[in-house]
Amino acid sequence: PTAAYQEFTVDNYKEGIDYIRRHTLPIVLKADGLAAGKGVLICNNHLEALAEFELMILQSKFGESGNKVVIEEFLEGIEMSAFILTNGKDYILLPEAKDYKRIGENDKGLNTGGMGAVSPVPFYDDALRKKVLEKIIQPTIDGLQQEKIEYTGFIFFGLMIRDNEPMVIEYNCRLGDPETEVIIPRIKNDLVEILLAVFENNFADVKIDTDERAAATVVAVSGGYPGLFKTGLEIHGISSIHPQETLIFHSGTLYDDGKLITNGGRVLAATSLGENIREAAEISTYNLEQIYFEDIYFRVDIGFEFREK
Ligand code: GLY
């Protein structure tokens, strides 16, 4: 199950124009290729959609990636992510997660590469999990076989849940960021043993032992991100974080002349486990408050809709 869509190229460009004119709002335009995460546009009026469509197809806004454009229905609902490890035949289900993409609290403001994530996802109950397995994961495995695609590795299912029904927004041949930072800490097995078992096709031997506790990760970014931001800012306080309580994952950091400095927009993430999402998120936030670099910013509401009152 996915959003209704049609594909257009320069050959059926005029049909694309008619399709956009008749389409209900908002209209989603996707470049059918790699575009550094920027190839999806959500247009709230027809003029904007027509202009972007022209830019993509006739003026190569995304280079060759935009030669084919997918025009798609906008799916409303709650986003979450499911993950498997597969050899294209058997698979292991990993813990699920929900990420928070907006820069501002209460999911306001510009999209980012991810400001935080939580796992488990409280509304992902047995009934919903069964639907995801039966309607999405197993058909995906069957599809790999039907299309003779040899694939061993992670599959990331970007899902939209609407009226308790799961739909696919995207697949990725990798784990997610910042989802990885909450799902891997919840897996108690040795990760290397799991990867070796997949490599050796010993799926029967693997039983994922998932920590019952909740995990929350909070991402610290450099002030101004996702717009202009500074780099090279010295990071203080990391050594005061106890790894038994909070794990720090580095993304935009660099060791330079014995100093830890910022080297990107999303600088680092703090992950903690707790009895519930509120506790996990509060421990991560508390520990991020012990870290300092000029203009550090992080959301203090990760997992807000799941925090018990
Ligand atoms: N958090 C979304 C992704 O990794 O694509």
Q: State pLDDT tens for residues 220-271.
A: 999 999 999 999 999 999 999 999 999 999 999 999 999 999 999 999 999 9
According to the model, what pLDDT value does residue 309 have? 54
Q: How far is the CA of 240 from the centre of ligand 1 (A)?
A: 29
Ligand 1 mutation target, pool 81, 107, 175, most atoms within 8 A of CB: 81
Give yes or no for residue 116 CB within 6 A of ligand 1: no
Give yes or no for residue 99 CB within 6 A of ligand 1: yes
Neighbours of 144 (CB within 10 A): 17
**pLDDT below 70 — which residues of the chain?**
37, 309
Ligand 1 mutation target, pool 34, 112, 172, most atoms within 8 A of CB: 172
Q: What are phi and psi of 237, to 5 degrees?
A: 95, -5
* Angle value at C-alpha 41, between 26 and 229, nearest 5 degrees: 130
According to the model, what pLDDT value does residue 218 have? 98
E strands in 163-283: 165-172, 214-222, 246-250, 253-256, 259-262, 266-274
Q: Residue with the nearest Cα to atom 4 of ligand 1? A: 176
According to the model, what pLDDT value does residue 308 have? 74
Give yes or no for residue 114 CB within 6 A of ligand 1: yes
Q: Is 66 left (phi over 0), alpha (psi -120 to 50) or beta?
A: alpha
- The atom number, within ligand 1, closest to the CA of 172 reads 5
According to the model, what pLDDT value does residue 26 have? 96
- Do residues 193 and 187 make contact, with C-beta atoms less than 8 angstroms apart? no
Q: How far is the CA of 29 from the centre of ligand 1 (A)?
A: 19
Ligand 1 mutation target, pool 80, 101, 177, 251, most atoms within 8 A of CB: 177
CB neighbour class for 106 (10 Å; exposed up to 12, middle 13-18, buried from 19) = exposed
Give yes or no for residue 303 CB within 6 A of ligand 1: no
Which amino acid, residue 303?
G
Q: Residue with the nearest Cα to atom 2 of ligand 1? A: 176
- The atom number, within ligand 1, closest to the CA of 176 reads 4
Q: What is the DSSP string of 33-62?
A: S--TT--EEEESSHHHHHHHHHHHHTS-TT
Q: State pLDDT tens for residues 16-37.
A: 999 999 999 999 999 988 777 6
Give yes or no for residue 211 CB within 6 A of ligand 1: no
Ligand 1 mutation target, pool 100, 156, 175, most atoms within 8 A of CB: 156
- The atom number, within ligand 1, closest to the CA of 174 reads 4
* Angle value at C-alpha 200, between 149 and 83, nearest 5 degrees: 55
According to the model, what pLDDT value does residue 37 have? 67
The model's pTM: 0.90
According to the model, what pLDDT value does residue 39 have? 83
H-type alpha helices, the chain: 13-22, 46-57, 126-132, 138-146, 180-186, 191-199, 277-288
Give yes or no for residue 177 CB within 6 A of ligand 1: yes
Query: For residue 309, what are its two tokens?
Result: 């009152």
Q: What is the DSSP string of 90-141?
A: SEEEPPPBEEEEEEEGGGEEEEEEEEEEEES-TT--HHHHHHHIIIIIHHHH
Give yes or no for residue 181 CB within 6 A of ligand 1: no
Query: For residue 32, what are its two tokens?
Result: 């059918």
